[in-house]
Amino acid sequence: MLITLQEDGVLYVYESAEDAVRDIDASEAEESFQAVFDDRGQGYTLRRKRWSRLFGFFGNGEASGIVLAPSGSTDRAALLRTIASARTIAPRAAIREVGRLVDRLAKGSA
């Protein structure tokens, strides 16, 4: 599970980092993602990936995209603060799952 607090104050829950990246426009990602954690409290940062297009067949220049990559050490307290600061949770079907995560993190179990 990947949890993102976005600029609209909504805590979005995704199955994976790839799902989160697919859900947002690359040009808006830096402003949109305020905090990103997995369900263990591992923080993630946004990184731009760049690659050169090969051969004239694909054109000239560079193409770019974004990835969310693990960064730093796990911080369960920061994840709990992020969840607590959310205005709401989306999708609504994830509310129970986030509640169970909060209980688990508060008890200190992984």
Domain boundaries, the chain: 2-107
Residues above pLDDT 70, as percent of the chain: 81
How many angstroms separate the CA atoms of 42 and 35, rounded? 11
| Cβ atoms of residues 36 and 3 within 8 Å | yes
Query: Is the confidence at residue 64, as pLDDT, over 50?
Result: no
One-letter amino acid identity for 48?
Answer: R
- Give the bridge partners for 68, in sequence order: 46
**Locate tokens 């205005």: which residue?**
87
Nearest Cα residue to 35 out of 2, 73, 1? 2
How many angstroms separate the CA atoms of 40 and 74, rounded? 7
Q: What is the DSSP letter of 21?
A: H
Summarised one tens digit per residue, pLDDT across range 7-24 is 999 999 999 998 988 887
